A and B are shown apart, each in its own frame.
Chain A
Amino acid sequence: ETGVTQTPRHLVMGMTNKKSLKCEQHLGHNAMYWYKQSAKKPLELMFVYNFKEQTENNSVPSRFSPECPNSSHLFLHLHTLQPEDSALYLCASSQDRGKLNGYTFGSGTRLTVV
């Protein structure tokens, strides 16, 4: 375990379903991130939260809705997804934007949209 815990590890959902991904860290970090990792594509930064405030949204479709109730928890709410949204979703956290120690990643949630 890296200190960043993601649940569930695997998720299969239909296109009409609503589900949520959860990320939790108790490293005392103040920034949290959602990344999407698809096959043969670079890591795509989706959202950035710093001290619970969203500081970046990289043109992510509205069917992905992040929530950060406190500095330790981050959610990604999913609804009416498309098959091309199937990917590994990675959560990461960092202290002070991660300049010195980089980001600490969770193990990811493998999402399959059917």
Chain B
Amino acid sequence: KQEVTQIPAALSVPEGENLVLNCSFTDSAIYNLQWFRQDPGKGLTSLLLIQSSQREQTSGRLNASLDKSSGRSTLYIAASQPGDSATYLCAVRSSWVDSNYQLIWGAGTKLIIKP
């Protein structure tokens, strides 16, 4: 059974720092992995999607990596800004057909960027 873990649960850093959020999963048979951002009381915004055959994806100041063999993904945020404050969620889509490719979610990392 796939399990997704995100550490740390919360992180507070000064503005301008580069930071890394971690996501680990127990079953390497994944179809893809997606990083989302959620602002308080709002829906989820997709940040980056990495297919199982890819090693990384980049969008602006964000870079996500994927290492299936070790069951890990990282989200790197460069030059953090107060507007980056949000909860970041990692979700893994299983590649097992009998799972119907359901998304399995981590509990999220709450990020606070201090001005």
Do A and B come together as binding partners? no
- A contact residues vs B (CB 8 Å cutoff): none
